Amino acid sequence: MRMLRTLTSTAAILGTLGILASPAGAADLYFAGRAGFSNGTASGNGTNMLVGPSLKGDDGDSSPVYGGALGVAVPLSDVIPWSLRIPSFDVPYWPGRAMHVSGSEDFRFPGWSTLIEAEAMTGREFRFSTPGASPLTPYNSEVKATSFLANVRLDVPIRAPMTALFGRLPMLDPLTLYGGGGVGMGLTDLKTTDTVNAGSDQSFAFAYQFMAGVGYAISDQMHLSLGWRYYDLGKLKTNLDQGPNPGSFSADISANEFTTSLRFHFYHVPFFGRD
């Protein structure tokens, strides 16, 4: 419930900012549900006070990831108050054949969309095993991670180049490519044991991500996305003080995630007297 209240209030603020940043036009408020899987990687570094030297190693694990977002979608032409002059040119793609790109004196980014959102993702549960003082005492770590990020994403339609290459394909008209990133906070739980000593810690620290993928407009209100994101959990550390030989363990953890998202535009907001 607290996660939902946080998303709702943050989305309201982002929606207001998105509207105020636009000189004219309209914005769509939306909710998105997301699910996929996360491939986590840990670079661990453990120290046992009895052994002395640090013991390093890498490991990986996979986990489901799921969550949602609330945000505002604004046409890029409304976010950027100026237009561009695009010259006409040809792009060769086969000997004797070229794709012609028609220019424009007043290019207004047709169909380009800017998404500003508050996102919460959870469900990540990784188990990593890195070298210990002996093969019988590896550092076994359990990591649970939740992220709260503010994302910005740009969706670019590819109808024009697809039409130039293959002719008109109506079913591909709603297809877009997107890219973006986000910053915020990550809540991470770390539990580590070398079978003799154990420790745990919880941290709430800076987190960030990058994303890219494809989108498809099922209708004006429903949009489907499939993409990749790189999420950095940062460096986690805990003292192993539950045992006869105290020590410490730290790990740099990141994840490559592949998620699908279904976005529903539930409210159309006209402003500045023009729809």
pLDDT in tens, the chain (275 residues): 444 454 444 444 444 444 344 344 578 999 999 999 999 999 999 888 777 678 899 999 999 999 999 999 998 877 676 666 778 888 888 888 887 777 766 666 777 899 999 999 999 999 999 988 778 889 999 999 999 999 999 999 887 666 666 666 777 788 899 999 999 999 999 999 988 889 999 988 899 999 999 999 999 899 999 999 999 988 888 988 887 878 899 999 999 999 999 999 999 887 544 44
CA distance linking residue 164 with residue 20, whole number of Å: 37
CA distance linking residue 15 with residue 21, whole number of Å: 10
Residue 4 is encoded by which pair of tokens?
């939902």
CA distance linking residue 2 with residue 196, whole number of Å: 37
End-to-end CA distance of the chain: 34
> Strands (DSSP E) along 136-241, which ranges?
139-157, 175-193, 198-217, 222-240
The residue whose two tokens read 């279904």 is 262
Output the CA–CA distances (angstroms, integers) from residue 261 to 64, 71, 242, in the order listed: 14, 13, 42
Handedness of CA 27, 31, 35, 40 (dihedral sign): positive
Tell me, what's the pLDDT at 161?
A: 66
